[in-house]
Structure 1
């Protein structure tokens, strides 16, 4: 028996490139690349988790992965287009993750600046989310998030609409949210911005778990050094531009990843 996701994939073997706007196609390609990079770097949880992206020029429409696909299967054409109320805008679209809708639609609606929203359940990310002290500024990677992380208390599986408001309230104007006993979330104006935050947040969590497991006394940089370093990171972004993102896209090309279809 073929699943709804399987039917959708069969219909989407041909590219949507000529049937959507140039802006939408570029958004689809960027988001599909992000899913493939997550698979490469192990930032996955089987078929769960989700990354969403607003479609430029389309009010309250965004792209998200079809529920049932591994990140290695995501392409530009098989991303699902939905509106802010969760209505599928694609013909015969498969299901999307209920948690994906609750989390992402709530934040997209409250934060128009958060074009891309990225949520994960990695081992290190969940481990840090379960530690009472949260993310510690004990590495250069982690210091970039100093005083720039919000926290959200665990309320069970994120499939209840009632959690939408507490998520939005806890996130506030931050671009990084640690969902306690659950996982990590980042927001960005672009896919590149959200991916970079998540990549280094994940690295920070891995470093923290490794450092604490060693049992040795941890060096904590002074607060003023942490704040100055976090600002250095923010000021350095204009120099970096999208050079790191383009390098990652070239990495996918060298690996022969087929996602621009």
Structure 2
């Protein structure tokens, strides 16, 4: 009876709450629509500008000389792939193991609290600062830019993402599952690796993909570490071309051909990361259904 009176349209308190609810829903929907509209605007502009630069030469020819026609981004594509791949191989085991330590042993130790604090700082640290740090400790000592320096710089950006994702995912594992494994006599390290980590492997892989997406478009760290190379180079110990720096340099140039290639490179990075995320989510959904 009281509930009926409370929800009655004649009740002023109910009418006020209903209008507040409607206004909140309207503002939330408007904010979402505005964000989606700007996102679609960016993607549409990128698609229109970049499609014209996507051709066979883009994947088979190196960057052209200033003022020349033709050319492609093969050297930059290969360089980005090598550096991002190396950074992923560096950051993934370090980040997962650090996340496991924080989840298993870091809740009651000062070292774990300090590690979480430093990780949070690294998550929000400007990437240019990380680039300058690697330049000071590595590039300045070896006296030359290199692909390895670029890999180290972007791996320092990826590690905190993997650490926090792994730590958060392991925290979602029910305590009963861990207690059951302990009751069967399994050691703590085996419980962490074979039980808890396996239970949340989809979330951990998603964190790794987020880290890859984060570092794929980083420009500032590579300016101070890998620099650039107009020619094809497969030696990671020398300056190496990469898509973010090439896009930055070509977009600021006065040459129409270079600007077209910059749009094509931006489209390639954007849709590569988008396709990777869609593919991973599709595979995870299919696996969960089985």
Relative contact order (alpha carbons < 8 A, sep ≥ 6): 1 or 2 greater? Answer: 2
TM-score by length of 2: 0.25
TM-score by length of 1: 0.27
Q: In proportion to residue count, which structure has more strand?
A: 1
Q: In proportion to residue count, which structure has more helix?
A: 2
